[in-house]
Structure 1
């Protein structure tokens, strides 16, 4: 039995299902140690501009420990999350394998240092990549790389989220032989539904939102903040309607600082229907994807290391348009019903939408390749390293 200890900042809706899958593997005894559990108890999300409490089971199905219970925020500074006694945590759980999900805080690096000193196998699983922000100066890049190399030298290996993450890990010290691919994964919210059931759910939601069955629904999901650039999506929808003569609905699913401004300025947008839903929680959001034809992630180069919206859109069979700043673009951009456009380029996005809107709705067109981005596939990658550690110790 391999004792696996995962160190994570807080319960996250796309990571907890992986832990639930991993806990079911024979030969793996899993515990997840969280710095805090504010995402379960509820906290104020500054970017959503509201209280957020995910309404899905994030702590069931696996053993866990909250190291700093009662905190009111999931975030902290590099030197934050004080009060976590790293040595006591390792002594309590006696892991054979430690997996660390963040080195953005000193406490995560302390866990890696302590594991190395105790001879415990220690693996890294971070979402970091080098294309998420505007290019830094040569000096800053050099200093940043030196820092990563020093930190990454503490680890026996790393799990890759995707191609850009793999390139980052290799560029900053890991050998390709030290890497195991566990792609960015999300739960398929429509798994188990037939095409007829999916169509029925989509039709019912459209009726509730006042959207006709004939309307082309171009949707953006996420926080309505400058980083996500929802205004480019609205402008492209207006241009799409003008150039094609089609009935176009622009569906913005989420909340944030730009919500009221967009609502007031585009309430009478020419040629389209604009629907702003506000914040939608996890148990309902799947139907919004089913009701959409094309999903757009128009992010600027301000830290979009992946874009889980891309996974959820493809699992629902939507066509997908991504800005070149989206971390998932190299993964999906070459697919038949996907495309990439330049950041903030309304004309380029409009041209792409014209192409993507020609496809007949097919809820299952991406189901084959999306198996590689399932939580089960990610858990399998983690389990493979746990088995490797057990064999070496045996």
Structure 2
């Protein structure tokens, strides 16, 4: 590549995602990069309802501004973003052969479209970079685990570079034979500036926001935010609120989101007369209101939660977090006693005890929020794009100066 040329970079993505759009925009804004994103499926409001959100909606932030993109022809019999065959875009193979990208990025390998891109890169000699968030805590039956080991040991070492979103993803790649020298820290991130700025704007209205949601004055508010679905284990949150309420009447639960567990949760709250309110789904521009009203985030998810970007959002708003040890972000974002606390997934008694400690020590709670904000500033879009650019330079013949580094 001539010194005056830009790196021609392609990315394949299943569909527009609110967390990835700012990352694409920032990468495209780098003067040495010419980026084009190839989407496999145009997800409408009804698709969101079918994909666990529980209601139809459209994101209220720009998903396409600031970078070049195109929607591929999806020939899947039942087009969708879930399942291997929901995205089938054979045109990406021809595009990769014709465009001769300097580097091509795939978000994992879970759809047919991902594999069409990966295969085309291998056949055409196009450097292929992977940015996924799989990790080793998700266990399977022995035969499936053995077959996965054999197949993954075959294809994972064949990637030209790895955009590592966190420590557990790094361990995953290493386990399946990736070389550490090909790893570049490109952490999972949200638009920290967006959330911090909106939190600051809403802060003077904190009491009014709490009043709208009928939060009693003096309450310590624990926030559950996300799809109300099995992998998030929302019942653990409600059960922990119930246990803690017996000892600490200041506790209050704020549940933001929707999903097919919502009705059963509301019935339980009503049955036991618990101090919990359900806001329903909040779009991106309104989420900072929840972080303004809350004191602590709780993420009780199981191992299907490969990261938990809601923790990034909360920390950008200077909230500490209590996170299950099975959630993928725990190793990176939770420093016990500093940015939050970790608990054993499903252990509601331990979760309740941690909640009680947060209630009884407001000064420590506030200090932990400040430290959480300091930590998440290092998990920024700029840091993630820097890592991606280092990887792009690496696969195009340039070498970085420093090895992979996490937190």
TM-score relative to the length of structure 2: 0.88
Instruction: Find the counterpart in structure 2 of residue 298 from structure 1.
Output: 300
Q: Sort the Cα spacing of 1:235 and 1:83 in 2 relative to 1 into closer, same or farther, 3 A.
A: closer
- Partner Cα distance (1:43, 1:250) in 2: 25
1:282 aligns with 2:302: no
Q: CA deviation at 1:274?
A: 1.2
Unaligned 5+ residue runs, structure 1? none
Unaligned 5+ residue runs, structure 2? 1-5, 400-407
SS of 1:180's equivalent?
A: strand
1:52 aligns with 2:54: no
Instruction: Find the counterpart in structure 1 of residue 245 from structure 2.
Output: 241
Q: Sort the Cα spacing of 1:248 and 1:16 in 2 relative to 1 into closer, same or farther, 3 A.
A: same
- Partner Cα distance (1:49, 1:283) in 2: 19
Return the match for 1:138 from 132, 135, 142: 142
TM-score relative to the length of structure 1: 0.91
Q: CA deviation at 1:77?
A: 3.2
1:153 aligns with 2:157: yes
CA RMSD of aligned residues (A): 2.4
Q: CA deviation at 1:391?
A: 5.0
- Partner Cα distance (1:91, 1:339) in 2: 49
Is the Cα–Cα contact under 8 Å of residues 10 and 39 in structure 1 kept in the other structure?
A: no
Is the Cα–Cα contact under 8 Å of residues 129 and 163 in structure 2 kept in the other structure?
A: yes
Q: Which moved more, 1:27-36 or 1:138-147?
A: 138-147
Is the Cα–Cα contact under 8 Å of residues 232 and 298 in structure 1 kept in the other structure?
A: yes
Q: CA deviation at 1:279?
A: 1.0
Q: Mapping of 1:1-394 within 5 angstroms?
A: 1-38=6-43, 43-68=48-73, 74-131=80-137, 133=138, 135-188=139-192, 189-192=194-197, 197-244=201-248, 246-267=249-270, 269-270=272-273, 272-301=274-303, 303-335=304-336, 336-357=338-359, 358-360=361-363, 361=366, 364-392=370-398
Greater percentage in helix: 2
Deviations 1:267-311 (A, max 9, x none): 2534x421001111111111101211111111133x111111111
Is the Cα–Cα contact under 8 Å of residues 28 and 386 in structure 1 kept in the other structure?
A: no
Deviations 1:205-239 (A, max 9, x none): 11211213411101101111222121221222222
Q: Sort the Cα spacing of 1:56 and 1:368 in 2 relative to 1 into closer, same or farther, 3 A.
A: same
- Partner Cα distance (1:190, 1:107) in 2: 32
- Partner Cα distance (2:48, 2:353) in 1: 40
Q: CA deviation at 1:392?
A: 4.5
